Chain A
Amino acid sequence: MDEHVARASGANDAGPAPGVRTRDAMSRIMPAFALFVGIVVVWEAASRIFKLPAFVLPPPSAIVGVLVARQRDLGYAAWITAQEIVSGFLLSGVAGAAVALIIARFATFGRALYPLVVLFQNVPKVALAPLFILWFGFDLAPKVVLIVVIAFFPVAINMLVGLQTVDANLIALMRSVGATRNEILWRIQIPNSLPYLMAGLKVAITLAVIGAIVGEFAGAQAGLGYMIQFASTQMQTSLVFAALVEVSVLGMLFYYAIEWIERRYIDWMPHAA
Chain B
Amino acid sequence: MNAPPHILARGVCVDFTVAGRVTRVLNDVSLSVPKGGFVSLIGPSGCGKSTLLKVLAGLLPPTAGDVSVAGVTPIEAVRQRRIGIVFQEATLLPWKNALDNVALLMEVAHAGRGNDEIRGRASDMLRLVGLERAAEKRPAQLSGGMRQRVSIARALALDPEVLMMDEPFGALDAITREEMSDFLLGIWERTKKTIVLVTHSIDEAAFLSREVHVMASNPARIIEALPIGLPYPRNEESYAAPEFARATARLRRLLKEGHRQAIAA
| Chain A residues near B (Cβ < 8 Å) | 4-5, 8-9, 11-12, 167, 169-170, 172-174, 176-179, 183, 187-188, 191-192, 266, 268-269
By the criterion CB–CB under 8 Å, are B81 and A268 in contact? no
CB distance from B120 to the nearest CB of A (A): 19
Q: Is B104 in the interface zone, CB < 8 Å from A?
A: yes
Task: Find chain B residues with CB under 8 A from A188 CB.
Answer: 93
C-alpha spacing A177/B155, complex, angstroms? 11
Q: Is B66 positioned at the interface, with any CB of A under 8 Å from its CB? A: no
Q: Chain A residues near B85 (CB, 8 Å)?
A: 172-173, 176
Interface residues in B89-127 by Cβ distance below 8 A to A read: 89, 91, 93-95, 104-105, 107-109
B95 touching A177 by the CB < 8 A rule? Answer: no
Give the docked Cα–Cα distance between A109 and B223 (Å). Answer: 48
Q: How far is the CA of A148 from the CA of B104 in the complex (A)?
A: 37
- Indicate if the CB atoms of A187 and B108 lie closer than 8 Å: yes
CB of B140 within 8 Å of the partner chain: yes
Q: B95 and A191: CB pair below 8 A? A: yes
Contact call A169/B93, Cβ cutoff below 8 A? no
Contact A174 B108 (CB under 8 A): yes
Q: Is B202 an interface residue (CB 8 A)?
A: no
Question: Is residue B64 contacting chain A, with contact meaning CB distance below 8 A?
Answer: no
B24 at the interface (CB under 8 A from A): no
Residues of A within 8 A of B158 (CB): 177
Q: Are B59 and A178 in contact (CB under 8 A)?
A: no
Q: Is B58 an interface residue (CB 8 A)?
A: yes
B109 to chain A, nearest CB (A): 4
Question: Which single member of B95, B105, B109, B140 contacts A8 (CB below 8 Å)?
Answer: B140
* Chain B residues within 8 Å of A12, by CB: 141
B138 with A268: CB separation less than 8 A? yes
Contact present for A176 and B94 (CB under 8 Å): no
Contacts of A192 in B (CB 8 A): 93
* Docked-complex contact B91 and A268, CB < 8 angstroms: no
Q: How many whole Å from B128's CB to the nearest CB in chain A?
A: 19
Return chain A residues, CB-CB under 8 Å to B188.
none
A1 closest partner in B (C-beta): B140
Q: Could you list 25 examples of A-B contacts with CB < 8 Å? A: A5-B140, A11-B141, A167-B91, A169-B89, A172-B59, A173-B91, A174-B105, A176-B58, A176-B59, A176-B85, A177-B81, A177-B105, A177-B109, A178-B79, A178-B108, A179-B108, A183-B108, A187-B104, A188-B93, A192-B93, A268-B94, A268-B95, A268-B138, A268-B140, A269-B94
Which residues of chain A are near B58, meaning CB under 8 Å?
A: 176
| B residues apposed to A, CB below 8 Å | 58-59, 78-79, 81, 83, 85, 87, 89, 91, 93-95, 104-105, 107-109, 138, 140-141, 158
**Can you name the residue of chain A whose Cβ is closest to the Cβ of B141?**
A8
| Residues of B with C-beta under 8 A to A169 | 87, 89, 91
Nearest residue, chain B, Cβ from A172: B59
Asked whether, in the complex, the Cβ of B91 is within 8 Å of the Cβ of A170, the reply is yes
| A170 CA / B95 CA spacing, docked (Å) | 14
Contact of A8 with B94 at beta-carbon distance under 8 Å, contacts A177-B108, A177-B158, A178-B108 already known: no
**In the assembled complex, which residues on chain B have CB atoms less than 8 Å from the CB atom of A4?**
140
Across-interface contacts of A8 in B (CB, < 8 A): 138, 140-141
A9 and B140 CA atoms in complex are apart in Å by: 10
Q: Which residues of A contact B79 (CB under 8 A)?
A: 178
> What are the residues of chain A within 8 A of B81 when measuring CB–CB?
177
B59 contacts which chain A residues (CB < 8 A)?
172, 176
With A174-B105, A177-B109, A188-B93 already in contact, 11 other A-B pairs whose C-beta atoms are closer than 8 Å: A4-B140, A169-B91, A172-B59, A173-B91, A174-B108, A176-B78, A183-B108, A191-B95, A192-B93, A268-B95, A269-B94
Q: How far is the CB of B104 from chain A (nearest CB, A)?
A: 7
Bound: A80/B91 CA distance, A: 48
**Cβ-defined contact, B105 with A173, below 8 A:** yes
With A and B bound together, what is the CA distance between A228 and B45 in angstroms? 65
Q: How far is the CB of A177 from chain B (nearest CB, A)?
A: 4
Q: How far is the CB of A42 from chain B (nearest CB, A)?
A: 44
Could you tell me the distance in whole angstroms from the C-beta of B72 to the nearest C-beta in chain A? 14
- Nearest opposing residue in chain A for B109, CB measure: A177
How distant is the Cα of A145 from the Cα of B184 in the complex, in angstroms?
Answer: 59
* Residues on the B chain within 8 Å of A187, using CB: 104, 107-108
Task: Tell me the complex Cα distance, A251–B117, Å.
Answer: 49
Q: How far is the CB of B168 from chain A (nearest CB, A)?
A: 12
Q: Which residues of B contact A5 (CB under 8 A)?
A: 140
Chain A min CB distance to B107 (Å): 8
| Nearest 10 CB-CB pairings of A with B | A177-B109, A268-B94, A268-B95, A170-B91, A179-B108, A8-B141, A169-B87, A176-B78, A177-B105, A177-B108
Nearest CB on A from B158, distance (A): 7
B252 to chain A, nearest CB (A): 30
